[in-house]
């Protein structure tokens, strides 16, 4: 079986993932809606996952994919807890604008 990367090239995946990751970072910085921030985080996670899979193919080794499984598990847990926190914040403060969550102020 031919390696698919022969035709695409690992560099392209790297560029794609970097840009995807940066978009995620941009989203976190740009938006103040906590849910969108969450989505941006998911984007970043996915960028990394994609890179894992790409390298897994590159090395012809399944370990990278295993890692992605775990990453997904963690992401799922994180979203569940994170959204629960968001809901309770919303219930308490009636907003999910991160700009208004200033209780950390020292």
Partner 1 sequence: MDTSLILVLLLSPFIGFLFNVFLGKKAGKTIVGIVGTLSVFISFAVTLSFFLQITQTKQAITVDLFEWISTQHFKVNFGFLLDQLSILWLLFVTGIGSLIHLYSISYMHDDEKMHSFFAYLNLFIFFMITLVIGSNLLMMFIGWEGVGLCSYLLIGFWYKNQDFNDAAKKAFIMNRIGDLGFLIGIFILGSMFTTIDFTSLKTAISSASDTNDLWMAIAALCLFIGACGKSAQIPLYTWLPDAMAGPTPVSALIHAATMVTAGIFMITRMSFLFDMVPSVQNIIAIIGAVTSLVAATIALTQTDIKKVLAYSTVSQLGLMFLALGFGAYEVAVFHVITHAFFKACLFLGSGSVIHGLHGEQDMRKMGGLKKAMPITFITMLIASLAISGVFPLAGFWSKDEILMTAFHHNIALWVIGSIASIMTAFYMFRLMYLTFFNEFRGTEEQKHHLHESPSLITIPLIVLAILSFIGGIISLPGNSWLNDYLAPLFSKVTQEEHSFGTTEYTLMAIATIGALAGIGLAYKKYLKENTIPSEDENITGLTKVLYNKYYVDEVYDAVFVKPINVLSNFFRDSVETTLSALVFGLGKATFQLASFGRRFHHGSVGFYLSMFTLGICALLTYLYYCNNF
Partner 2 sequence: MSIILILFCVLSFITLATAFLTIYSRNPIHSAIYLVICFFSIAGHYLLLNAQFLAIVHVIVYSGAIMILMLFTIMLMNLNNRNDVHKPRITRLGAIVLFILMCVVLIGIFINSKPIVGEYISTGEDYQSIKVLGKILLNEYMVPFEFASILLLVAMIGAVLLSKKEKITK
104 near partner 1, judged by CB under 8 A: yes
48 near partner 2, judged by CB under 8 A: no
Binding partner of residue 105 among partner 1, partner 2, none, CB cut-off 5 to 8 Å per kind: partner 1
32 near partner 1, judged by CB under 8 A: yes
Measured between alpha carbons, how far is 95 from 34 in angstroms, rounded to an integer? 9
Measured between alpha carbons, how far is 17 from 44 in angstroms, rounded to an integer? 9
Measured between alpha carbons, how far is 106 from 87 in angstroms, rounded to an integer? 25
Rg of the chain over CA atoms, in angstroms? Answer: 18
CB closer to partner 1, 70 vs 99: 99
106 near partner 2, judged by CB under 8 A: no
91 near partner 1, judged by CB under 8 A: no
Q: Tokens in use for 38?
A: 């969450």
CB closer to partner 1, 59 vs 100: 100
């Amino acid at each position: 079986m031919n390696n698919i990367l022969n035709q695409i090239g690992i560099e392209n995946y790297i560029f794609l993932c970097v840009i995807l990751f940066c978009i995620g970072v941009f989203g976190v910085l740009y938006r103040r809606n906590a849910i969108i921030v969450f989505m941006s985080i998911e984007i970043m996670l996915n960028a990394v996952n994609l890179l894992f899979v790409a390298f897994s193919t590159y090395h012809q080794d399944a370990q990278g994919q295993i890692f992605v499984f775990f990453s997904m598990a963690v992401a799922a847990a994180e979203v569940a807890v994170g959204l629960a926190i968001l809901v309770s914040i919303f219930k308490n403060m009636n907003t999910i604008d991160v700009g208004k969550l200033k209780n950390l102020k020292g």
